[in-house]
């Protein structure tokens, strides 16, 4: 990550819970209708693939995810990530948890970030939590990562010297070209973006923003990604999970 030489951490006034708004509220009626209709929401294709992957062993002789976890037990799990992993001794996001389960319990290789199968499994699990409020764990072991995520959100980055907070805290609701600046909440991910014509993760969106700021993107699955994801989840709570959301 490239920080400007004069980069200073700016104060974060934040958005009060009563004023927190999902990006859904700022979309055109046609796009909202697409998200709300499971037969028209393109992201549901990944959810169906994820349900199949969840029930199917990753290799002959291996246990499927459903061999340990029922759908009922998994409802609400996605709303509580990132979380601290005892064995790894660090916070992990939902994608990281899927890959840890694969390597520890299924004898399978981790899935590459942004791969179809990892997006599908993540979308399926997030969809099981749809409608439930984001509720990041109140775990003191997450405090350092949460502070780091807050710092990253507030710190100007790259050649343009922008910070996430400069747009999504201070200027939300205003216009940037033809687009309305959202508050930047992660409650819809993985989501189908019409600009991408594809499903994508929050990490992909962060990479797009950093590139636009002329900053070096975070490494896939890095501690920075997890820390910023954790802070964003806390900042968005208690907005409901919408995945797979649709966005312009």
With contact defined as beta carbons under 8 Å apart, do 126 and 244 qualify?
yes
**Four-point Cα dihedral 64, 100, 76, 46, nearest 10:** -60
Pairing of strands 175-176, 245-247: unpaired
Closest CA to 234 of 146, 158, 106: 146
With contact defined as beta carbons under 8 Å apart, do 138 and 131 qualify?
no
Give CA–CA dist 190/56, Å, rounded. 21
Give CA–CA dist 65/121, Å, rounded. 10
CA distances from 61 to 54, 96, 110 (A): 15, 23, 17
Active site residue: 65, 164, 167, 209, which one? 209
- Calculate helix-pair angle for 116-128, 44-55, nearest 10 degrees: 90
CA distances from 62 to 30, 105, 172, 181 (A): 43, 9, 47, 46
Give CA–CA dist 229/100, Å, rounded. 18
Annotated active-site residue 68? The verdict is no
Catalytic residues, which ones?
209
């Amino acid at each position: 990550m490239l920080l400007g030489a004069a980069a200073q951490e700016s104060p974060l006034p934040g958005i009060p819970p009563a004023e927190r708004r999902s990006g859904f509220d700022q979309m055109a009626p046609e796009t909202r209708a697409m998200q709300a209709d499971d037969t028209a929401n393109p992201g549901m294709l990944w959810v169906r693939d994820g349900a199949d992957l969840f029930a199917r062993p990753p290799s002959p002789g291996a246990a499927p995810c459903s061999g340990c976890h029922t759908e009922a037990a998994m409802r609400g799990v996605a709303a509580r990530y990132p979380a601290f992993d005892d064995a790894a001794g660090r916070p992990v996001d939902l994608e990281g948890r899927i890959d840890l389960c694969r390597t520890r319990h299924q004898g399978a290789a981790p899935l590459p970030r942004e791969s179809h199968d990892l997006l599908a499994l993540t979308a399926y699990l997030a969809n099981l939590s749809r409608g439930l409020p984001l509720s990041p764990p109140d775990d003191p072991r997450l405090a350092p990562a949460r502070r780091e995520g807050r710092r990253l959100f507030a710190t100007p980055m790259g050649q343009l010297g922008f910070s996430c907070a400069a747009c999504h805290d201070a200027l939300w609701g205003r216009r940037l070209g033809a687009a309305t600046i959202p508050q930047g909440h992660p409650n819809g991910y993985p989501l189908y973006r019409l600009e991408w014509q594809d499903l994508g993760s929050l990490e992909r969106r962060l990479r797009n923003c950093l590139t636009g700021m002329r900053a070096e993107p975070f490494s896939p699955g890095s501690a920075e990604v997890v820390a910023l994801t954790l802070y964003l989840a806390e900042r968005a709570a208690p907005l409901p999970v919408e995945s797979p959301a649709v966005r312009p």
